[in-house]
Every structure is written in C-alpha cells, then in structure tokens.
Amino acid sequence: MYICVCNALNERAVGEAKAAGAIRVSQVFAYFGVAPQCGRCFEAMQAILSPVDGEPAEKSDGGPLCRVAGRRVG
C-alpha cells in the first residue's frame, strides 16, 4: 500500500528509510531524494517511523544516509 502517493513511497520504502536511520518524515523524503507535496502522508508515515512500545527514538548522528547524495542528511 502506498503511504505517500505523491512520491510513490509504499510501506516497504518507508521501512527501508527507517532501517537506514530515518526517525522523521523529512528524513524519509531526503533518503529518497524527493520532496513532500500535499502532506497527506505525514501522519501515516510518522506512525511507521515511531518507536515501538514507547521506546525513545535512537539519537541520530546527522540523519539517515541519502542514497542519492551518498551522505548523511537531516
């Protein structure tokens, strides 16, 4: 199922960005080198990114690795 229709990002894609270290919606977009459009996906995307069982998110060391830029973003 698509989470972000504007950028064709499905649950698997958001999960990939999360596995790479994304903890914010903006970091998912950066990971794929795309930009938010309508914003309708933000809530659903953040729900996927949220930690399980109330555990705090791990501290980011500069954001996820952007596979387009080949460097940390965020």
Nearest to 30 by CA among 65, 2, 59: 65
Binding segment for ligand FES among 11-19, 34-42, 50-58, 64-72 (CB under 6 A)?
Answer: 34-42
Among 4, 17, 30, 49, which residue sits at the site for ligand FES (rule: CB under 6 A)?
Answer: 4
Q: Which member of 38, 53, 58, 70 binds ligand FES (CB under 6 A)?
A: 38
Pairwise CA distance, residues 49 & 31, whole Å: 13
Does 39 interact with ligand FES (rule: CB under 6 A)?
yes
Residue 44 interacts with ligand FES (CB under 6 A): yes or no: no
